[in-house]
């Protein structure tokens, strides 16, 4: 403690947080087991893009090494600024970070993939990302109407991006079991990751099992499910004040949010909690010092209702609709 006190006294950068464990991907790269979400879906009207810059900086300061963004979030520039701030302050070096971004639906033609990634890199201010994902298996035109591009063609562009060193790993998001199988059967490089919604009301056992049995890591988006407000009066439990989650949280001296994140981690998933609040950002990474019992995991899993936070009903009639 005395040494620590001295270091703090002299104003040296001491990263107090221990760093999260990593998942070994099928291409040999290591992916930190929790990522800061930077999607804008839950942003309040008063939130600004500068909040994203701060959130990314606070997250790295708190020990996060993985940031999840996407071209369609419109915040890659602020994510890049937060990263640059943290590097400038000497908290991390670029190679200690794992940055994920995603290809939007209107850039699915094979020859659009590398230019789209280059644009993301220029907004992020980076020379490479660690993971580039096809955001959805659905292709659209620029006006949002459906396009008939096969995601197998898009994947060829993803393989080219990896070959060029613009991304170290490639993967997909929102792909279902048959889409994963078709991709595996028709690609040179298998996807390293599938990112999709997983939380207590959408546990996704079959898809999680399928990905893991093919050595594809799973990133879990919207990990809090309906524990946090989604402005949905019909939202199923568990809510934040749920007594079952509350009892587990009390037992370990944790919050309901931490219990739900730990639930994902116990399943071998990489949760992506989004927050722009400094206190909650720190809270959400403080989930590596306790374990849930098999009974507690089963109790949380029994909330499953196959109800999604993220609905994309408007795309139901589009080719390759995955849900």
Annotated catalytic residues are: 73
* Closer residue to ligand NAP, CB minimum distance, 28 or 31: 31
* Closer residue to ligand NAP, CB minimum distance, 20 or 257: 257
Q: Using CB atoms within 10 A of its CB, is residue 147 exposed (0-12), middle (13-18) or buried (19+)?
A: middle
Minimal distance, residue 113 CB to ligand NAP, in Å: 17
* Closer residue to ligand NAP, CB minimum distance, 108 or 135: 135
Task: Consult the annotation and say whether 66 binds a ligand.
Answer: no
Nearest partner of 210 among 190, 188, 189, 186, judged by Cα = 190
Q: How many CB atoms lie within 10 A of CB 113?
A: 25
Question: Which residue of this chain has its Cβ atom nearest to ligand NAP in the complex?
Answer: 37
* Closer residue to ligand NAP, CB minimum distance, 39 or 63: 39
* Residue 164 CA to its chain's centroid (Å): 24
Binding site for ligand NAP (CB under 6 A): 37-39, 41-42, 68, 135, 173-174, 195, 221-224, 228, 255, 257, 272-277, 280, 283-284, 309-310
Residue whose pair of structure tokens reads 């809510």 in the numeric block: 239
* Residue 100 CA to its chain's centroid (Å): 8
Alpha-carbon distance of 117 to 188, in angstroms, equals 20
Q: Are strands 193-197 and 217-221 parallel, antiparallel or unpaired?
A: parallel
Alpha-carbon distance of 272 to 261, in angstroms, equals 9
Minimal distance, residue 276 CB to ligand NAP, in Å: 4
Minimal distance, residue 195 CB to ligand NAP, in Å: 5
Q: How many CB atoms lie within 10 A of CB 278?
A: 15
Minimal distance, residue 1 CB to ligand NAP, in Å: 28
Q: Summarize the annotated binding site for substrate as residue ranges.
A: 135
Q: Summarize the annotated binding site as residue ranges.
A: 135
């Amino acid at each position: 403690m005395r040494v620590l006190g001295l270091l703090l006294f002299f104003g040296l950068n001491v990263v107090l947080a221990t760093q999260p464990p990593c998942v070994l991907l099928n291409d040999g790269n290591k992916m930190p087991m929790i990522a800061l979400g930077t999607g804008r879906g839950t942003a309040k009207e008063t939130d600004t893009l500068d909040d994203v810059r701060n959130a990314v900086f606070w997250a790295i300061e708190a020990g996060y090494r993985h940031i999840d963004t996407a071209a369609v979030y419109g915040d890659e520039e602020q994510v890049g600024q937060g990263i640059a701030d943290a590097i400038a302050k000497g908290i991390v070096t670029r190679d200690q970070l794992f940055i994920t971004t995603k290809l939007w639906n209107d850039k699915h033609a094979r020859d659009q993939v590398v230019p789209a990634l280059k644009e993301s890199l220029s907004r992020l201010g980076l020379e490479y990302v660690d993971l580039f994902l096809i955001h959805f298996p659905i292709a659209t035109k620029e006006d949002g109407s459906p396009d008939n591009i096969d995601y197998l063609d898009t994947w060829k562009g993803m393989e080219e991006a990896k070959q060029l060193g613009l991304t170290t790993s490639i993967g997909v998001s929102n792909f279902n079991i048959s889409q994963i199988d078709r991709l595996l059967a028709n690609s040179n490089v298998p996807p390293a990751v599938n990112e999709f919604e997983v939380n207590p009301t959408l546990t996704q056992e079959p898809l999680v099992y399928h990905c893991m049995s093919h050595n594809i890591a799973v990133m879990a988006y919207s990990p809090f499910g309906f524990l946090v407000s989604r402005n949905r009066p019909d939202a199923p439990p568990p809510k934040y004040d749920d007594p079952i989650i509350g009892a587990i949280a009390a037992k370990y001296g944790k919050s309901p949010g931490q219990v739900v994140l730990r639930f994902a981690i116990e399943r071998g998933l990489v949760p992506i909690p989004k927050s722009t609040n400094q206190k909650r950002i720190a809270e959400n990474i403080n989930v590596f010092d306790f374990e849930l019992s098999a009974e507690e995991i089963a109790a949380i899993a029994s909330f499953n209702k196959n109800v999604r936070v993220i609905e994309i009903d408007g795309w139901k009639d589009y080719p390759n609709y995955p849900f």
